[in-house]
Protein backbone atom coordinates (compact mmCIF):
# COMPACT_ATOMS: atom_id res chain seq x y z
CA UNK A 1 0.00 0.00 0.00
CA UNK A 2 1.44 3.38 -1.00
CA UNK A 3 -0.47 5.51 1.54
CA UNK A 4 1.74 8.13 3.17
CA UNK A 5 3.84 11.28 2.63
CA UNK A 6 6.52 11.45 -0.04
CA UNK A 7 9.05 14.19 -0.73
CA UNK A 8 11.44 14.21 -3.68
CA UNK A 9 13.56 16.67 -5.65
CA UNK A 10 13.51 17.31 -9.39
CA UNK A 11 16.62 18.77 -11.04
CA UNK A 12 16.99 20.28 -14.49
CA UNK A 13 20.36 21.34 -15.94
CA UNK A 14 21.49 23.19 -19.09
CA UNK A 15 24.99 21.90 -18.67
CA UNK A 16 26.15 24.96 -16.77
CA UNK A 17 23.41 25.77 -14.28
CA UNK A 18 20.98 23.56 -12.39
CA UNK A 19 17.52 24.37 -11.12
CA UNK A 20 15.89 22.27 -8.40
CA UNK A 21 12.37 21.88 -7.17
CA UNK A 22 11.17 19.97 -4.13
CA UNK A 23 7.83 18.20 -4.49
CA UNK A 24 5.75 16.90 -1.60
CA UNK A 25 2.92 14.43 -2.27
CA UNK A 26 0.44 12.99 0.19
CA UNK A 27 -1.13 9.70 -0.95
CA UNK A 28 -4.48 9.31 0.81
CA UNK A 29 -6.08 6.01 1.67
CA UNK A 30 -8.77 4.79 -0.70
CA UNK A 31 -11.29 2.47 0.91
CA UNK A 32 -10.67 -1.19 0.18
CA UNK A 33 -13.75 -3.37 -0.17
CA UNK A 34 -14.14 -6.28 2.23
CA UNK A 35 -12.83 -9.58 0.92
CA UNK A 36 -14.84 -12.75 1.58
CA UNK A 37 -12.44 -15.45 2.80
CA UNK A 38 -14.82 -18.17 4.00
CA UNK A 39 -14.64 -20.20 0.80
CA UNK A 40 -17.37 -21.43 -1.47
CA UNK A 41 -20.68 -22.38 0.16
CA UNK A 42 -22.30 -25.75 -0.52
CA UNK A 43 -24.78 -25.47 -3.37
CA UNK A 44 -26.72 -28.67 -2.58
CA UNK A 45 -28.53 -29.98 0.48
CA UNK A 46 -30.74 -33.02 1.05
CA UNK A 47 -34.28 -32.48 2.27
CA UNK A 48 -34.62 -32.93 6.05
CA UNK A 49 -30.86 -32.30 6.55
CA UNK A 50 -29.45 -29.09 8.03
CA UNK A 51 -27.66 -26.64 5.75
CA UNK A 52 -25.08 -24.33 7.30
CA UNK A 53 -22.65 -21.75 5.95
CA UNK A 54 -20.63 -19.21 7.95
CA UNK A 55 -19.50 -16.16 5.99
CA UNK A 56 -16.19 -14.60 6.97
CA UNK A 57 -14.45 -11.55 5.52
CA UNK A 58 -11.44 -9.33 6.05
CA UNK A 59 -10.84 -5.66 5.30
CA UNK A 60 -7.44 -4.11 4.60
CA UNK A 61 -8.52 -0.80 6.09
CA UNK A 62 -7.75 -0.49 9.80
CA UNK A 63 -10.50 0.34 12.27
CA UNK A 64 -13.42 -0.60 10.02
CA UNK A 65 -16.15 -2.81 11.45
CA UNK A 66 -17.78 -5.26 9.09
CA UNK A 67 -21.54 -5.76 8.97
CA UNK A 68 -23.05 -8.94 7.53
CA UNK A 69 -26.52 -9.31 6.02
CA UNK A 70 -28.58 -11.87 4.09
CA UNK A 71 -30.31 -9.93 1.32
CA UNK A 72 -31.97 -12.90 -0.43
CA UNK A 73 -32.57 -16.35 1.07
CA UNK A 74 -35.29 -19.01 1.08
CA UNK A 75 -37.78 -19.01 3.96
CA UNK A 76 -36.36 -22.23 5.41
CA UNK A 77 -33.00 -20.52 6.06
CA UNK A 78 -32.26 -18.04 8.84
CA UNK A 79 -29.26 -15.72 9.11
CA UNK A 80 -27.62 -14.53 12.32
CA UNK A 81 -25.71 -11.24 12.03
CA UNK A 82 -23.89 -12.13 15.26
CA UNK A 83 -22.61 -15.60 14.34
CA UNK A 84 -22.63 -14.78 10.59
CA UNK A 85 -24.26 -18.19 10.02
CA UNK A 86 -26.85 -19.03 7.43
CA UNK A 87 -28.62 -22.22 8.48
CA UNK A 88 -31.83 -24.17 8.20
CA UNK A 89 -33.43 -27.45 7.18
CA UNK A 90 -35.45 -27.80 3.99
CA UNK A 91 -38.54 -30.04 4.06
CA UNK A 92 -40.08 -32.43 1.56
CA UNK A 93 -41.96 -29.43 0.07
CA UNK A 94 -38.60 -27.86 -0.88
CA UNK A 95 -37.25 -30.99 -2.58
CA UNK A 96 -36.36 -30.63 -6.25
CA UNK A 97 -36.29 -26.84 -6.06
CA UNK A 98 -33.44 -24.35 -6.38
CA UNK A 99 -33.17 -21.20 -4.29
CA UNK A 100 -31.15 -17.99 -4.69
CA UNK A 101 -28.97 -16.69 -1.86
CA UNK A 102 -27.35 -13.25 -1.71
CA UNK A 103 -25.15 -12.30 1.25
CA UNK A 104 -23.46 -8.93 1.80
CA UNK A 105 -20.49 -7.70 3.80
CA UNK A 106 -20.41 -3.93 4.41
CA UNK A 107 -17.49 -1.94 5.81
CA UNK A 108 -19.38 1.34 6.25
CA UNK A 109 -18.42 2.56 2.77
CA UNK A 110 -18.41 -0.36 0.34
CA UNK A 111 -20.09 -3.76 0.12
CA UNK A 112 -18.97 -7.08 -1.23
CA UNK A 113 -21.68 -9.49 -2.35
CA UNK A 114 -21.73 -13.27 -2.45
CA UNK A 115 -24.48 -14.72 -4.61
CA UNK A 116 -25.14 -18.39 -5.27
CA UNK A 117 -27.88 -21.00 -5.58
CA UNK A 118 -28.87 -23.93 -3.38
CA UNK A 119 -30.59 -27.01 -4.81
CA UNK A 120 -32.58 -29.21 -2.44
CA UNK A 121 -32.22 -32.91 -3.29
CA UNK A 122 -35.24 -35.17 -2.88
CA UNK A 123 -34.68 -38.09 -0.51
CA UNK A 124 -37.08 -41.02 -0.40
CA UNK A 125 -39.12 -40.79 2.80
CA UNK A 126 -40.52 -43.91 4.47
CA UNK A 127 -44.29 -44.39 4.16
CA UNK A 128 -46.44 -43.82 7.23
CA UNK A 129 -49.20 -46.12 8.46
CA UNK A 130 -52.17 -43.81 9.08
CA UNK A 131 -54.74 -46.30 10.40
CA UNK A 132 -55.18 -47.75 13.89
CA UNK A 133 -56.82 -51.11 14.68
CA UNK A 134 -60.35 -50.46 15.92
CA UNK A 135 -60.21 -53.31 18.42
CA UNK A 136 -57.64 -55.88 19.45
CA UNK A 137 -59.76 -58.33 21.49
CA UNK A 138 -62.12 -60.67 19.65
CA UNK A 139 -64.01 -63.79 20.72
CA UNK A 140 -63.15 -67.11 19.20
CA UNK A 141 -65.23 -67.70 16.05
CA UNK A 142 -65.92 -63.99 15.41
CA UNK A 143 -64.60 -62.28 12.30
CA UNK A 144 -61.93 -59.62 12.44
CA UNK A 145 -61.51 -56.75 9.96
CA UNK A 146 -58.82 -54.11 9.95
CA UNK A 147 -58.55 -51.68 7.04
CA UNK A 148 -54.92 -50.71 6.81
CA UNK A 149 -54.19 -47.28 5.31
CA UNK A 150 -50.86 -45.63 4.65
CA UNK A 151 -49.47 -42.45 3.14
CA UNK A 152 -46.31 -41.80 1.17
CA UNK A 153 -45.27 -38.11 0.98
CA UNK A 154 -43.22 -38.95 -2.13
CA UNK A 155 -46.37 -40.26 -3.90
CA UNK A 156 -44.79 -43.64 -4.63
CA UNK A 157 -46.86 -46.79 -5.08
CA UNK A 158 -47.14 -48.69 -1.81
CA UNK A 159 -46.96 -52.46 -1.42
CA UNK A 160 -48.61 -53.99 1.66
CA UNK A 161 -47.68 -57.33 3.29
CA UNK A 162 -48.06 -59.01 6.66
CA UNK A 163 -45.52 -61.11 8.56
CA UNK A 164 -46.36 -63.60 11.29
CA UNK A 165 -50.13 -63.85 10.74
CA UNK A 166 -51.93 -66.62 12.64
CA UNK A 167 -53.19 -69.42 10.36
CA UNK A 168 -56.86 -68.38 10.78
CA UNK A 169 -56.20 -64.78 9.55
CA UNK A 170 -55.80 -63.68 5.95
CA UNK A 171 -54.29 -60.48 4.61
CA UNK A 172 -55.40 -59.00 1.31
Number of neighbouring beta carbons within 10 Å of residue 83? 11
pLDDT score at 16: 94
pLDDT score at 134: 81
**Local structure of residue 154 (DSSP, 8 states):** T
pLDDT tens sequence for the chain (172 residues): 688 999 999 999 999 999 999 999 999 888 999 999 999 999 999 999 999 999 999 998 878 899 999 999 999 999 999 999 999 999 999 999 999 999 999 999 999 999 999 999 999 989 999 999 887 788 888 888 889 999 998 888 999 999 999 888 888 8
pLDDT score at 76: 98
Say how far apart CA 53 and CA 134 lie, in whole Å.
48
Amino acid sequence: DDVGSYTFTINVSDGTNTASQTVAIEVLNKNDKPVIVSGDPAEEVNEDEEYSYKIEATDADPDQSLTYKAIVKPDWLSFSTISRKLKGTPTNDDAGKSYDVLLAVYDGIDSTLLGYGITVNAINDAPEITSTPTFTNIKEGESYLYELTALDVDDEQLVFNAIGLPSWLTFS
